[in-house]
Structure 1
Amino acid sequence: MSFGLPSLKVKPENVNNIQVQEGPFGIPDPLVAGVGGTKLNLGTRHPLEYSEKNYHLNEEKMDMAMLRNIQGLHAPMKLTMEKKFASKVGRLPFLPSSNLQHDVLTGRYLDIGFEDILNTRDLCEVAGQPHAVVERSLGLL
């Protein structure tokens, strides 16, 4: 019995063998490709990495499919429209936005992650001058 829910199985994105560009000595040149670039091309990644990278997107798809099956098509459409309007709420470029309305609509306001603690805009040591930031965003500067 299928309810139209997306599959929960992890599907790897790269299934083909990747050809590594080798340097003159038969090994990848880290000065050209970089250590990180060489690491990405060697071997395969863990299947959970793909799942974790798209976790919020997969969760949202499951929630929308469940809403559609339970309440009909209007519920996911209304929620999608509210999320779209919440993402369009603008502030002046020099004012940080917490995106509280979008987080409430997606349910992320209940989660505490690394992005909530590390590297927040409130703790930033460099603040731009408001007039210069606005002029740059408008293309005047």
Structure 2
Amino acid sequence: MDWTLEVVIVPVSDIDRSIAFYRDQVGFDLDHHTVNEHMDVAQLTPRGSGCSIVIGNLPAQQEMAPGSLKGTQLVVADAAAARDELTSRGVECSDIMVFNDMDGGTFFGFSDPDGNSWAVQQIKARAERPLIPAEARQRFGAEQQL
């Protein structure tokens, strides 16, 4: 049996501000933003990822204090390019740290407006071998538009 991690709840204090940060500054795709008399919930997905984040005001989403999620990890093929992209959009990032020269040993970090922190790991192999091949991402995107 496969077990896949597909959603991480990120506790935030202001849903609209967080959507703007993750969509416009970090570059996640906004999958949906559902607002009705029962909820205000948004799901955003990093490009190329099979796992999304969810922010909102449902009871399960309010069990953690805003800003209490620490060290959730993203992976990129080029840490310097990713850091440059984020800083060009106004995201404050730590310096790049190289813990060892092996692929996977390079990191930097950033935090959202509430203080939820993210680690960004460089794995150069992702450039040639993404976890979700481009064809599958294109197919999924076409299915979402139906």
TM-score (norm 1): 0.24
Structure of higher RCO (CA pairs closer than 8 Å, 6+ residues apart): 2
TM-score (norm 2): 0.24
Name the structure where helix makes up a greater proportion of residues. 1
Name the structure where strand makes up a greater proportion of residues. 2
Higher-Rg member (1/2): 1
